[in-house]
Amino acid sequence: MKYEAVIGLEIHAELKTASKMFCSCPNGFGLEKEPNINICPVCTGQPGTLPVANIEAIKKVIKTALALNCRINDFSKFDRKNYFYPDLPKGYQISQYDKPLSEHGYLEVGDSKVRITRIHLEEDTGKLIHPAGADYSLLDLNRAGVPLMELVTEPDIRSGGEAKKFCQELQLIFRYLGVSDADMEKGQMRCEVNISIRQKGAEKFGTKVEIKNLNSFKVVEKSIDYEIKRQTEALEKGEKIIQETRGWDDAKALTFSQRIKEEAHDYRYFPEPDLPPLNGLLKWAEEIKKELPELPAQRRARFGKEYGLPEADVEALICDPELSEYFEEVSSELNEWAKTAEPKIDVKKSVKLAVNYLTTEIPRIAGLSQNENYNLREKITPENFAEFIKTIAQNVVSSSGAQTVLAEMFKTGADPSHIIKEKDLAQVSNEEELAEKINQVLEENASAVEQYKKGKQNSLMFLVGKVMAATKGKANPQVVTEMLKNRFK
């Protein structure tokens, strides 16, 4: 309790653009089937080639910056960051140094407000591959020159949980803006942590440790919490914290020293002479601002109010921008329908039913058919999905029948009434139709009837089961139960 952690993050996100940052090679999002297919003389650093800046990438960074309450710099420029590494063919990276596109923003997550130091634009590097046992390494330049957005925060974070929430909200914002898919496992979003410990209330920071190569939100949280514990224990024992870079070992659930930091690197930054500086960005930003969509925080608040859903449901919907839009279309169909539906239906209940099917049943069915990367809209139209909810609300199908219908809709895209007819899944609620089967079951199970009359409640369930079996599962169990109870009165 004596200490507190001081944590800052550095986040890289690959931008979703058609082409790379400084050439016209396709931006393949890391999905290339072969190495070195999306390359050209520019992104492989051949002598005599010249870069041309991708205006869409610049726009996407400004869009992100506006969404994160940043100040846009009217004047910005690119700089060369010089260092040698085999995955960097030019011997320098085009980045931004003292005039980034934007600075001084913030993001509120729950009760905490994390200030954003800057967001700038640079190019990604290639990738080195080290085949097991080989005495050589391979170089893939598909990623070289992919537009990369770098976001740096102030050291405003105090725990692993807070850092995780911040990263998750950031990912969501990137997705809502359509600037990046930001999938951490695919390396589209990468996170580095700076962490130090100090006595509570102290102004001076402790010695800073960097944690690198964190490839999931969970690992961000776990590695930070581990470091807090490790550094606190070291301080308690009177040991000194060493300034170093550490990695995360997931199997052992601990951080380990990768290298001790020598002097800070001198990258000999200087303005990129092959690219003109960027002027008049503020005016452009005014235009871009008009294109900003509803952001996750706004949608979260609106969904809570408009649909009266519990927090967990709201979160399950808004964590996927596509899904939340889909849900809104379904919900508006249900609302329209409820105005005239006969028999009357509880629209709030139907909407809640839609949420349950969307957030639990659909992912389950997708998992069963090993089709996890599906586009729901392409599988089932919102109109058909609303239709499906109506059939349940009006007891046209039972809940088990509904599962069959939904799985079939997911597979074929057919509309629910068609499937119900085709597969003969309509639930029988008509008392006249059920009466005959009930008579038959009562005759065949006289002893169960006797036992029920003697007070054995289980016998009623047994008889309902018999009627269900006799109707091949098509009887409406609620109606059957009511009919049986009436008979015994």
- Per CB under 5 A, residues contacting Zn ion are 23, 25, 40, 42-43
Cα angle: 155, vertex 214, 5; to 5 degrees: 30
Token digits of residue 164: 């995780």
Cα angle: 371, vertex 376, 378; to 5 degrees: 100
**Residue 123 vs 313, nearer CB to Zn ion:** 123
Q: Rounded to the nearest whole angstrom, what is the least distance from the CB of residue 101 to Zn ion in the complex?
A: 22
Q: Rounded to the nearest whole angstrom, what is the least distance from the CB of residue 39 to Zn ion in the complex?
A: 6
Q: Rounded to the nearest whole angstrom, what is the least distance from the CB of residue 145 to Zn ion in the complex?
A: 6
Q: How far apart are the first and last CA of the chain?
A: 68
| Non-local CB neighbours of 356 within 8 Å, separated by 6+ positions | none
138 and 164 Cβ atoms separated by less than 8 Å: no
Distances (CA, A) of 356 to 27, 52, 172, 369, 389: 37, 49, 21, 19, 11
**Residue 7 vs 25, nearer CB to Zn ion:** 25
**Residue 24 vs 458, nearer CB to Zn ion:** 24
Token digits of residue 2: 């004596």
Q: Rounded to the nearest whole angstrom, what is the least distance from the CB of residue 261 to Zn ion in the complex?
A: 34
Q: Rounded to the nearest whole angstrom, what is the least distance from the CB of residue 238 to Zn ion in the complex?
A: 54
Q: Rounded to the nearest whole angstrom, what is the least distance from the CB of residue 36 to Zn ion in the complex?
A: 11
CB neighbour burial string for 151-183, b if at least 16 within 10 angstroms, e if fewer: bbbebbbebbebbbbbbbbbbbbbbbbebbbbe
Pick from 323, 333, 377, 381: nearest CA to 355: 323
**Residue 36 vs 112, nearer CB to Zn ion:** 36
Q: Rounded to the nearest whole angstrom, what is the least distance from the CB of residue 153 to Zn ion in the complex?
A: 31
**Residue 48 vs 133, nearer CB to Zn ion:** 48
Is residue 367 classed exposed, middle or buried when 0-12, 13-18 and 19+ CB atoms within 10 A define those classes?
exposed
**Residue 95 vs 350, nearer CB to Zn ion:** 95
CA gap 27, 57 in Å, rounded: 11
**Residue 40 vs 338, nearer CB to Zn ion:** 40
